Homo-oligomer: A and B are copies of this chain.
Amino acid sequence: MVFPMTTTEGTSQDQLPFDVFARSCPSRETLGHITGRWGSLTLGALAEDTLRFNELRRRVEGVSEKMLSQTLHALERDGLVHREAQPTNPPRVDYRLTPLGREVTERMMALIHLVEGRMAQVLEARERYDAERA
């Protein structure tokens, strides 16, 4: 299957042109940016607020400058995050979700909240699993 680099308007095929299960579909890369170790947390941190670089660093505990920078670049390039630099001194840069980013983050937060809410169950499952092969 070939993945179009432009929109598919004008075509009338029923099957979706993008499929994350396909090895080289670009949607897999974008899903990677969103679900990656720092991607999901960065989007989540921006879910409620516009934040500055170091505010993000504090909110996403454990992320390094390098990784946060990389993550933001990837999300900005994919059109999920908007970067706005004020030409002041000291510099001030605000990051916020784009409309597309908000859609994506809504679903990601639904997943995150479910996981947080079911962690007790997960920890029980782990104990059972570990006990069975002890």
Contact = CB atoms under 8 A, between A and B. Distances in A.
Interface of A: 4-8, 16-23, 26-27, 30-32, 34-37, 40-41, 44-45, 59-62, 76-80, 100, 103-104, 107-108, 110-112, 114-126, 128-130
Contacts of A8: 120
A30 to B, nearest CB: 5
A122 B103 CA distance: 13
A114 B107 contact: yes
A23 B62 contact: yes
Contacts of A107: 107, 110-111, 114
Given A21-B59, A107-B107, A129-B76, A100 B121 contact: yes
20 contacts: A5-B123, A6-B120, A20-B40, A20-B41, A21-B61, A23-B61, A26-B122, A26-B123, A30-B119, A31-B40, A31-B111, A34-B111, A35-B40, A35-B111, A100-B118, A103-B114, A103-B118, A104-B115, A110-B110, A111-B111
A121 B21 contact: no
